[in-house]
Structure 1
Amino acid sequence: MNIVVQLSRIIVGALFIFSGFVKLVDPIGSQYKFQEYFSESVLNMEFLIPYALPFAILLIVAEILLGVTILIGYKPKITVWSLLILTLIFLFLTWYSAYYNKVTDCGCFGDAIKLTPWETFYKNVILIALIILLVLKVSMVKPIFGGKIPKIITLISLASFLFIIQHVLTHLPIIDFRAYAVGKNIHEGMVFPEDGSIPPVHDFMLEDAQADLAPELLQKEKLMLIVIYNLDKSDVNGFSAIRETATKALEKGYTVYGVSASFTDDLLAVKEKHNFPFEFLFCDETTLKTMIRANPGVMILNKGTVTQKKNWVDVDKIKL
């Protein structure tokens, strides 16, 4: 029995650490997922949408930290019961999503691994079984280190996780699992897989008042896209840096466009107020959020291949 308990402990700990890590490197993605769950069409808890990011950070830190503490055996009773409660919440949400077809991707593994709602639900059922075993046999969950070492490891882990989140929120995800990551080609992302599923890039359009300019712009060797997905939610402190970067890019022979999902009149007013040296094109807000976790942010493309991505705080590091 002890072997089964320790094996369950390792599996649960590894899953929670992996699941937490892929979200730790991109907490904004988890924020968007919470906003989706809180929306009127899903849980109808729109009053919680402004708190989506704190919820996301709390979940990420709790998930990965519990994975660490179950492996090292720190506070085993608190840990296994916390794992059970958290997984029961996941179980309900994934069942709700699957049964009512509300959220097609629960985001349990971030953008790293995509599971259907039912696949995620069954994964959680197995996880619940393993955790119940740990609850029943918690006396067998012993610390792997003596003295204060487990506590020290837990505190160092917590500090490290919080530092990573702060860094990622200030800059960009440490690891980018999305179809618009540096090195990915948007043309190739639009190709339909052989199994007939939806391609990774399927809503990418750069529209002016007359047409979609994406096919033309994706042929250019020097293209700078300044993403401001929503003017009302953008950080205006970055507008001066964006203007300077765009000006330098134009001098270097780049084609520069702003891309947003905001209303044309609002974009024209902002362009005039901040003296932006570029025109704005329209793109779907969800697509823009997927392209870059910044508002505003800058993407550099060479014939459809993403070569650089920066949050506005780092635009001075862009190589032109």
Structure 2
Amino acid sequence: MENKHIQLFQSIWTNVCRYILSAVFIFSGFVKIIDPLGSYYKLQDYAEAFGLLWIPNSMLLFFGVLLASIEFAVGLFLFFGVRRNVSTVLSLVLMIFMTPLTLILALTNPISDCGCFGDALVLTNWQTFWKNVILILLAFWLYKFRKLIIPFFTEKTNWIVSLYTVIYVVVLAMYSQRYLPIMDFRPYKVGVDIVDDMSIPEGAEEPEYETVFLMEKGGEQKFFDVEHYPDSTWTFVEAKTNLIKKGYIPPIQNFSILDIETGEDITESFLTKVGYKFILVAHRINEADDSNIDLINEVYDYSVDQNYPFICLTSSLESDIEEWSDKTGAEYPFYHADDITLKTIIRSNPGLLLLKDGVIINKWDHHSIPDEYQLTDSLDKLELGKLSKIDNKETLLYVVLWYFGPLFVLFGLDLLNRRRKQK
């Protein structure tokens, strides 16, 4: 009798571990796979923190997508109980790799957030480490008692579930790589009023920031603040905004539009200007994709005809901006902004934003920029000029149905087949 109770406990606890691990892996893999550039930027932070800048960016991007895909697929395998040996081994290997890494991050703190849940859920490095300690214990148990995992499907249909899962994950990764994330967890999502989200509520303690500029002259590099911005003999390298004193932290921070020549901050005057305005974002213009530059130039020509402001925000050197202008025929004005902020605003280089007053009306990656056939009238008369309807809950529902719908049908057929054989 005692052995039966122990076996029952082992069976129940094994499947509890299985669902906990599957939920974490599915969530972690999904939020990263739909935002591959976000994972890529985080891996760049890792590479910089650990002195691994020699790793090619293409390899970092590939590894980020691969890791998210494996996490997502392993989570789904665990949920359905298919490929029990493969899924339990991979889950254990992932945790054996991630747990010591997050301990190093917690002790050294080279980056503030490991990015394990993308932008959907931000944990401190110590929170991430203790989370991984729990998960690695669950993964060890699950690996040891993997034969107790109760599968949803029979062995004959396991291969269909596995194949469909791999295809689904690959297609989702490829789509997310080409277009903007299907769900946006960042502060600059469509519908956000940038001015309001930069504001401090009345009575709240305000944080203090300092913007400094790294300038170069005669091979010497030096930081300057706004009050001591140097003359034109110095060449701009980059701008950084540092938090000096904590206070109420608004959702949007470090957003500033700076005149390249004078360093003047025109953020407020630009955002509070009534009406529509376009912002082209190219965080590093020397790395920007110019395959759809004709569409960008068409939008600029349209904005000039309609008297809509059009600017380009970048963190690039003036020499890179000049090279881009010569190569693409760009006539729009350029302004400087923080590199990290620009990568947060839109996951495309370049990407285009449409604002009305200070509200983000729409966002386009460089593959989806509207063309002359869509820009046939003033924006107040076009669908493009209306607030884009993006609902994360609705999007998530479609994602779930596309995956679980076919498998629900397969499960029903599998169940009927089992019952038929039992008769």
TM-superposition CA deviations, 1:224-262 (whole Å, max 9, x none) = 001111122111212222111111122222100011111
Distance 2:357 2:139 in 1: 50
- 2:38 aligns with 29
Distance 1:186 1:154 in 2: 44
* 1:9 aligned residue (10, 18, 40): 18
Provide the alpha-carbon RMSD of the alignment.
1.8
* 1:117 aligned residue (116, 122, 125): 125
Assess, with a 3 A threshold, how the Cα gap between structure 1 residues 189 and 315 changes in structure 2: closer, same or farther. Answer: same
TM-superposition CA deviations, 1:138-179 (whole Å, max 9, x none) = 120132211332221121121112111211221111001000
Higher Cα radius of gyration: 2
Further displaced range: 198-207 or 168-177: 198-207
Superposed counterparts of 1:85-96, under 5 Å: 85-96=93-104
The amino acid across from 1:203 in the alignment is: N
- 1:160 aligns with 168
Given that residues 68 and 154 in structure 1 are in contact (C-alpha distance below 8 angstroms), is that contact kept between their aligned partners in structure 2? no
Deviation at 1:71, TM superposition (A): 1.5
Superposed counterparts of 1:309-320, under 5 Å: 309-316=363-370, 319-320=384-385
What SS does structure 2 have at the residue aligned with 1:300?
A: strand
TM-superposition CA deviations, 1:105-157 (whole Å, max 9, x none) = 11111100111110111111111111111122112013221133222112112
Deviation at 1:197, TM superposition (A): 5.4
The amino acid across from 2:193 in the alignment is: N
- 1:46 aligns with 53
Deviation at 1:200, TM superposition (A): 3.0
The amino acid across from 2:256 in the alignment is: M
Per residue, is there more strand in 1 or in 2? 2
Given that residues 38 and 49 in structure 1 are in contact (C-alpha distance below 8 angstroms), is that contact kept between their aligned partners in structure 2? no
- The list of structure 1 runs, each at least 4 consecutive aligned residues, that deviate by more than 6 angstroms after superposition, is none
The amino acid across from 2:252 in the alignment is: V
- Between 1 and 2, higher relative CO (CA 8 Å, sep ≥ 6) is seen in 1
Superposed counterparts of 1:132-281, under 5 Å: 132-192=140-200, 196=247, 198-208=249-259, 209-210=261-262, 211-220=264-273, 221-281=275-335
TM-superposition CA deviations, 1:236-291 (whole Å, max 9, x none) = 21222211111112222210001111112331343244232310000111111111
What SS does structure 1 have at the residue aligned with 2:135?
A: helix
Unaligned runs of 5+ in 2: 1-8, 206-246, 375-383, 386-423
Distance 2:300 2:257 in 1: 18
Distance 2:51 2:149 in 1: 40
Distance 2:17 2:170 in 1: 27
- 1:282 aligns with 336
Q: TM-score, normalised by structure 2?
A: 0.72
Aligned length: 318
Unaligned runs of 5+ in 1: none
Deviation at 1:187, TM superposition (A): 1.9
- 2:236 aligns with none
Q: TM-score, normalised by structure 1?
A: 0.94
Given that residues 286 and 324 in structure 2 are in contact (C-alpha distance below 8 angstroms), is that contact kept between their aligned partners in structure 1? no
Distance 1:126 1:296 in 2: 41
TM-superposition CA deviations, 1:68-119 (whole Å, max 9, x none) = 1112122212211210110121112211111101111111111001111101
* 1:126 aligned residue (123, 129, 134): 134
| Amino-acid identity (%) | 32
- 1:74 aligns with 82
